[in-house]
């Protein structure tokens, strides 16, 4: 069962639809001050699009482009026709703003409803929206999607855990929209209030508001006795509802009838091989008010090869593996810290802490991974430790295609940083 026919279109039909919509999008975008200029300079008009692959003929749009065009430079029509805006906080420079016509809001609500349907929500469900509302697209995005799907929507907003629990119990809430970093705290609060999460009416949690690991998902599912689903979105592409997991939990389906997704090498801008990690680039093809072409999301992911068991034909992306800005280049190979983390965290002997150091060996750049070993494994048996070291280096090489130096260190010997851990340290200037 699917919410929309587009979810199961044959690839050829889907790509035909994408090409048509891309053509139309270029027509529309040409009405905006920004793209009319860009198209003129690059001699772009709708006729250059014959297949969806021709999207590659178009120039990228970056966050900096959006900033320089703040607030109105990308609008294709008179401001009168817009009914909503969302804006980034702009704490680190000029903010960015995204504007929606009523039709754009309808399209977005449909995409959200489709997303929620894909994880099993139906009109008989009761969804409690536990995220903040306001300029953050996650709040109103989920809210409109939930109403569109016909779920009874409880606009609880953030905070007030006690009251959240009361609402959930009073109204038999079956689905939560909850920020993953809040979910574990919430589970503890539920227990502290004297309730067993297993007895709560909920079944499904939407936790896509922040990037998180598979490990974090499992933990949330276990602690809350719930099925937790990841999703992907960004305000430049409406907000949530760009890509969503299905009940298979094996990657996030991109709603390709509304977005063209590419994955590129962030250095060269060229497409990566299918299945390789790179920067996600997105083009809106159903947005009328403020289309954005080949937007450099800076988010790292990969296309998951093959067909999903759910029957949807749209491609899936893997969970976000970091930011393109974190990428390291070593011996001509792109390396993402998240790749290293994924391998390290999968090794039982390794503790919570590690650090990636960029060093110079003679004239050559090299990576050194310092890994804390759990106390019980940090024995004086040199042979065992050397074996472990070799094993880790081998696994890393299989993932990142170069062999890094691996150093095993004692539990608690790597300084813990406040807040977000600094995982990559560049020592190339200080060390020889």
Nearest distance from C-beta of residue 429 to a second copy, angstroms: 39
List binders of a second copy among 112-131 (CB under 8 A): 123-124, 126
Nearer to a second copy, 126 or 327 (CB): 126
CB of 280 to Zn ion, least distance (A): 18
Residue 304 engages Zn ion in binding (rule: CB under 5 A): no
- What does 308 interact with, of a second copy, Zn ion, none (CB < 5 to 8 A by kind)? Zn ion
| 133 in contact with a second copy (CB under 8 A) | yes
**Which residue among 87, 152, 310, 402 contacts Zn ion (CB under 5 A)?**
310
**Does residue number 139 form part of the binding site for a second copy (CB under 8 A)?**
yes
Residue 316 touching a second copy (CB under 8 A): no
**Min dist. Cβ of residue 389 to a second copy (A):** 50
Binding of residue 1 to a second copy (CB under 8 A): no
Per-residue binding letters, 238-267, with Zn ion (x by CB under 5 A): --------x-x-------------------
Q: Which is nearer to Zn ion, 313 or 389 (CB)?
A: 313
Please give, one letter per residue, the 3-state secondary structure of the chain. CCCCHHHHCCHHHHHHHHHHHHHHHHHHHCCCHHHHHHHHHCCCCHHHCCCHHHHHHCCCECHHHHHHCCCCCCCCCCHHHEEEEEECCCCCCCCCEEEEEHHHHHHHHHHHHHHHHHCCCCCCCEEEECCCCCCCHHHHHHHHHHHHHCCEEECCCCCCHHHHHHHHHHCCCCEEECCHHHHHHHHHHHHHCCCCHHHCCCCEEECCCCCCCHHHHHHHHHHHCCEEECEEEEHHHCEEEEEEECCCCCCEEECCCCEEEEEECCCCCCECCCCCCEEEEEEECCCCCCCCCCEEEEEEECEECCCCCCCCCCCEECCCCCEHHHCEEECCEEECHHHHHHHHHCCCCEEEEEEEEEEEECCEEEEEEEEEECHHHCCCCHHHHHHHHHHHHHHHHHHHCCCCEEEEEECCCCCCCCCCCCCEEECCCCCC
Q: Is 269 in the site for a second copy (CB under 8 A)?
A: no
Q: Is 177 in the site for a second copy (CB under 8 A)?
A: no
Residue 310 binding partner per list a second copy, Zn ion, none, with a CB distance cut-off of 5 to 8 Å that depends on partner kind: Zn ion
Count of residues binding a second copy (CB under 8 A)?
Answer: 43
Among 80, 199, 325, 418, binds a second copy (CB under 8 A): 80
Give the one residue of 19, 44, 105, 264 binding a second copy; rule: CB under 8 A.
Answer: 105
Decide: is 162 part of the binding site for a second copy (CB under 8 A).
no
Binding site for Zn ion (CB under 5 A): 246, 248, 308, 310, 312
């Amino acid at each position: 069962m699917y919410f929309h026919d587009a979810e199961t279109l044959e690839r050829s039909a889907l790509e035909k639809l994408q090409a048509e919509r891309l053509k139309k999008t270029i027509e529309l975008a040409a009405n905006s001050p920004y793209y009319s200029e860009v198209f003129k300079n690059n001699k772009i008009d709708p006729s250059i699009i014959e297949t969806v692959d021709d999207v590659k003929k178009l120039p990228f749009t970056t966050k900096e482009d959006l900033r320089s065009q703040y607030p109105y430079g990308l609008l294709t029509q008179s401001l009168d026709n817009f009914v909503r805006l969302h804006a980034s906080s702009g704490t680190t420079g000029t903010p960015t703003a995204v504007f929606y016509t009523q039709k754009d809001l309808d399209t977005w609500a449909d995409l959200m409803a489709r997303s929620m349907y894909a994880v099993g929500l139906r009109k008989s469900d009761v969804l409690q929206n536990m995220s903040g509302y306001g300029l953050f697209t996650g709040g109103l995005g989920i809210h409109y999607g939930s109403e569109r799907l016909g779920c009874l929507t409880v606009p609880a907003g953030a905070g007030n855990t006690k009251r959240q629990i009361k609402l959930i119990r009073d109204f038999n809430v079956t689905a939560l929209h909850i920020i993953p970093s809040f979910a574990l705290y919430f589970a503890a609060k539920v227990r502290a209030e004297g309730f067993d999460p297993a007895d709560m009416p909920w079944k499904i949690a939407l936790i896509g508001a922040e990037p998180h690991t598979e490990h974090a998902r499992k933990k949330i599912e276990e602690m809350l006795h719930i099925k937790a689903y990841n999703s992907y979105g960004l305000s430049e592409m409406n907000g949530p509802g760009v890509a969503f997991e299905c009940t298979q939990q094996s990657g996030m389906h991109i709603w390709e009838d509304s977005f063209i997704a590419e994955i590129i090498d962030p250095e060269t801008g060229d497409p990566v091989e299918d299945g390789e990690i790179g920067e996600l680039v997105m083009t809106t093809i159903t947005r009328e008010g403020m289309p954005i072409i080949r937007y450099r999301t800076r988010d790292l992911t990969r296309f998951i090869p093959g067909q999903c068991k759910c029957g949807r034909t749209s491609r899936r992306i893997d969970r976000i593996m970091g930011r393109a800005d974190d990428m390291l280049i070593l011996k001509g190979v792109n390396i993402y810290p998240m790749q290293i983390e994924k391998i390290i965290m999968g090794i039982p002997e390794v503790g919570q802490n590690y650090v990636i150091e960029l060093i110079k060996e003679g004239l050559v750049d090299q990576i050194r991974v310092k890994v804390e070993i759990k106390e019980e494994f940090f024995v004086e048996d040199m042979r065992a430790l050397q074996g472990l070291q070799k094993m880790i280096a081998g696994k890393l090489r299989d993932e990142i295609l170069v062999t890094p130096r691996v150093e095993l260190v004692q539990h608690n010997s790597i300084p813990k940083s406040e807040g977000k851990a600094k995982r990559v340290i560049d020592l190339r200037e200080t060390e020889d």
